[in-house]
Amino acid sequence: MTTDETPSNRSAKTRQMLGMRGASSGETNLWKIRLQLMKPITWIPLIWGVVCGAASSGNFRWNLENVLIVAACMLLSGPLLAGYTQTLNDFYDAEIDAINEPYRPIPSGAISQEQVTAQIWILLLAGIGIAYILDVWAGHTGKTVAALAVGGSYISYIYSAPPLKLKRNGWLGNYALGASYIALPWWAGHALFGELNWKIVILTLIYSLAGLGIAVVNDFKSVEGDQKLGLNSLPVMFGITTAAWICVLMIDVFQLGVAGYLMSIHENLYATILILLVIPQITFQDMYFLRNPIENDVKYQASAQPFLVLGMLVTALALGHAGI
For the chain, percent of residues with pLDDT exceeding 70:
92
Task: Give the mean pLDDT of the chain.
Answer: 91
pLDDT in tens, 64-110: 999 999 999 999 999 999 999 999 999 999 988 888 788 889 998 99
Q: Output the CA angle 101-208-17, nearest 5 degrees.
A: 30
CATH of domain 21-322: 1.10.600
The answer to whether the predicted template modeling score (pTM) of the entire model surpasses 0.85 is: yes
Per-residue pLDDT of 209-260, as tens digits, reads: 999 999 999 888 888 888 887 789 999 999 999 999 999 999 999 999 999 9
DSSP letter for 292, please.
-
38-55 pLDDT, tens per residue?
Answer: 999 889 889 999 999 999
| Domain ranges across the chain | 21-322
